[in-house]
Structures are given as structure tokens and as C-alpha cells.
Amino acid sequence: MFKIKITIEKKTKISEIIIGDNLFFKLKEHLKKIEFSKIVIITDTIVDSFYGKKIKKALESYKLTTIVIPAGEKFKTLYTASAVYDQMIKASLNRDTLVIAFGGGVIGDLAGFVASTYMRGLPVIQVPTTLLAQVDASIGGKTGVDHTGGKNLIGAFYQPKLVLIDVDFLKTLPIREIKTGLAEVVKYGIIKDSELFAKLELNPKSTSKFWTEVICCCAAIKAEVVAKDEKEVTGLRMILNFGHTFGHAIESLTGYSKYTHGEGVAIGMVAAANLAFKLKMLKEKDLLRIVSLIAVLGLPTKCDLAVSTILKALYMDKKAKSGKIRFVLPVKIGKVVVRDDISEKTIKLSLKEIGCV
């Protein structure tokens, strides 16, 4: 078992991350430091079918309310959040309630957002069940819901008291979900850890030891960045959005149904790498390594959306500022920079490289 702490704003906010196997059944032990009298578990239909009875058994000594929502990104909306509020009010849940976000990235985002807004804030812990959520989405306090205008346009920064990452959950994940999580792992390798990137290129065996090491690497990088720039004030946290500027646009324009989040990010990383290469920032050998690894992992590297449509969506990105699109671009594997001075012509050329028309 490994522990990582995120300490923000002179120790006024401390978020603990615990990583290992066989942690789920010890959940009760890890709640002792948190003050609450009731628990609401927010999960989805898929996770509930696998683990619903088990989490209730693990927490049977507490006053429990379970709220189950439909699975999928398309349900990460204000409408769903409102339905969750309704159930919480009906159950007479107040400020002494602990929210447990039990699921993948969608549940983590939505449950975190509900916790941040219900009665002006309830304590929340994240128990991520997908690889994507374990390496990225559950860590750092970003919460939110999607809007027809774009992904995660409505949300808040709200740190969980605890993130409990049990790698045993990965044993029941479909292969597509493993691949979508690997996209985020590749991202960490490109932005800050060339050794992690090289490890993925060796095609290692999928074992609990391997996943624990990988998740620890990713969690440590994110914890370090978030502790220094929780709310993207200095710009450091922006590096965590590598691949996401293009990726979010692609997800949004395809109705959050054609591509998983990781698949969108994978295409976005290829687009960003191509953009960096066209700007003579990235060497061709590194571009080829990035595209090759993403393809070898079984992730998409191209999409056929209209260039003009994607460009319009890019201007709606949360990271856009003063009418300028901000991109996180690699200068080599292990290092990225943020640029907002790129011409539309160059952006269009990079999109055509990934198959856009």
C-alpha cells in the first residue's frame, strides 16, 4: 500500500491518496479520520451490478443511502445532478453526510460536483473503479458536468478528503476501458516522465504490481502539479490538459458516444504532437514514437470530423483566453509547453494530418 498527500494553500486543504490492492474491503478503516454521521453512495448501474452489495456490506454499520444513475458520459449533466439532489433531499441528507463517489470518471466528476454544491459543500471521497479515474480523474479536485456547448463547462474545484485506489477493480474492466485509461498514462509520460513512456513501449505484463507502479507514478505527478497550482492560476496545471484541447472538442462534437474520453484524448495527443512537429518544436522521431505507442495500445489516432467544426469548438474550450486557443504541446517526450500564438492555418493543417476534412 502506498500513500500520497496533496497539500494545498499552506495545509488548509489536504487530500490523501491511498493506492494498492485489496483496499476496497478495508474502506471502513480509512473513514475514521473523517467526521460524518451519514453516507450517500453515488454510483452507476454498471458498478452497482458488480459491487453494489459489496460496498453496502463493507459499510453496513453506517446510515446508508445509495443513488444509482445510468452509466455513460451522456448522463453527466445538470439534469442528472438535479435528480441526485432530489433524492438526497428526499432522504433528508444534511451537512453531516459523507459523499462517496463510487465509479469511473463520470461518477467522480458528477458526484464531486454534487458534493461541492449541495448545502454549499459536503465532504467527499473518491473510490475510482476504472483505470482512467484511478490515474487521473479522481485526483486533483476537478468536478463538473457537461453542457451542449462543451465538455465540463459547468463545475468547481473541490478537493476530496480521500482517494482510495484499489487496483483489484481493474480485473473486471472491459479491455476498451483499460485502453481508455492507458491514454491518460501515455499523457503523463509525455508531459513529465519519459521513463514511464519507455516502460509502456516495452509492452509489460498486466499485473497488480505493474498497475500499482503505474498508478503511483501518475498520481505522484498529478499531486505535485495540483499542490502548486490547484485552480490553474499560474498555468502549471495546464500541462495536465495535454491532448484534451483537441480531445474535448472531438468528444463533444460526436455526442460523447462515438469515443470514450481516453480515445478522444488519444486523438488529441496525436493532433497536438503533429502541431508541435509542424511548428518545429518536436523532432520527427519523438512524433513517430508518440503516434506508434498510441496505435500499439489499440487507441485511435485519426478522426474524420470537419476541420471548420473542430476549430469552432476549440474556441469554446475552457482554456481559451482573450479569444486565443491555448495548446499544450510537446517539445520532447517528458516535457511540454503552453502556446497561445498559433495561427488558424497551422491548426487546420495539423487537423488534416489526423484525417479531418
Catalytic residue among 192, 222, 319, 326: 222
Instruction: Quick: pLDDT tens for 80-111.
Output: 999 999 999 999 999 999 999 999 999 999 99
170 in a known ligand binding site? yes
Reply yes or no on whether 237 is catalytic: yes
Catalytic residue among 90, 120, 205, 345: 120
Q: Is 13 exposed, middle or buried (0-12, 13-18, 19+ CB in 10 A)?
A: middle
**More confident position, 38 or 204:** 38
Catalytic residue among 73, 177, 187, 241: 241
Q: What's the rounded mean pLDDT across residues 287-294? A: 98
Instruction: Quick: pLDDT tens for 233-249.
Output: 888 999 999 999 999 99
46 in a known ligand binding site? no
Q: What's the rounded mean pLDDT across residues 120-149? A: 95
Catalytic residue among 177, 184, 263, 353: 184
130 in a known ligand binding site? yes
Reply yes or no on whether 176 is catalytic: no
- The reported pLDDT for the residue numbered 33 is 87
189 in a known ligand binding site? no
113 in a known ligand binding site? no
Instruction: Quick: pLDDT tens for 167-193.
Output: 999 999 999 999 999 999 999 999 999
Examine the pLDDT at 215 and tell me if it is beyond 90.
yes
Catalytic residue among 192, 237, 319, 326: 237
- The reported pLDDT for the residue numbered 12 is 55
**More confident position, 95 or 357:** 95
Which band of pLDDT confidence, cut at 50, 70 and 90, is reported for residue 314?
Answer: very high
244 in a known ligand binding site? yes
Please compute Rg for the chain using Cα positions. Answer: 20
| pTM for this model (two decimals) | 0.92
Give the rounded percent of residues in the chain with a pLDDT score beyond 90. 85
d(CA 303, CA 253): 11
- The reported pLDDT for the residue numbered 179 is 96
- The reported pLDDT for the residue numbered 9 is 61
108 in a known ligand binding site? yes
Instruction: Quick: pLDDT tens for 242-279.
Output: 999 999 999 999 998 899 999 999 999 999 999 999 99
> CA nearest 5: which of 21, 18, 20, 16?
16
Reply yes or no on whether 244 is catalytic: yes
Instruction: Provide the grid cell at 205.
Output: 505484463
129 in a known ligand binding site? yes
Instruction: Quick: pLDDT tens for 45-87.
Output: 999 999 999 999 999 899 999 999 999 999 999 999 999 999 9
- The reported pLDDT for the residue numbered 223 is 92
Reply yes or no on whether 120 is catalytic: yes
Catalytic residue among 73, 76, 142, 177: 142
Reply yes or no on whether 30 is catalytic: no
Examine the pLDDT at 355 and tell me if it is beyond 90.
yes
- The reported pLDDT for the residue numbered 202 is 92
45 in a known ligand binding site? no
Catalytic residue among 248, 274, 326, 353: 248
- The reported pLDDT for the residue numbered 208 is 87
Examine the pLDDT at 330 and tell me if it is beyond 90.
yes
Q: Are 286 and 332 in contact (CB under 8 A)?
A: yes
- The reported pLDDT for the residue numbered 149 is 85
Examine the pLDDT at 353 and tell me if it is beyond 70.
yes
Fold of 179-353: Dehydroquinate synthase-like, alpha domain (1.20.1090)
Reply yes or no on whether 248 is catalytic: yes
Buried b / exposed e along 288-297 (16+ C-beta atoms within 10 A): ebbbebbeeb
Which band of pLDDT confidence, cut at 50, 70 and 90, is reported for residue 207?
Answer: confident
Reply yes or no on whether 241 is catalytic: yes
- For the chain, give every domain's residue range: 2-173, 179-353
- The reply to whether CATH 3.10.20.30 applies to domain 2-173 is no
Reply yes or no on whether 222 is catalytic: yes
d(CA 156, CA 13): 15
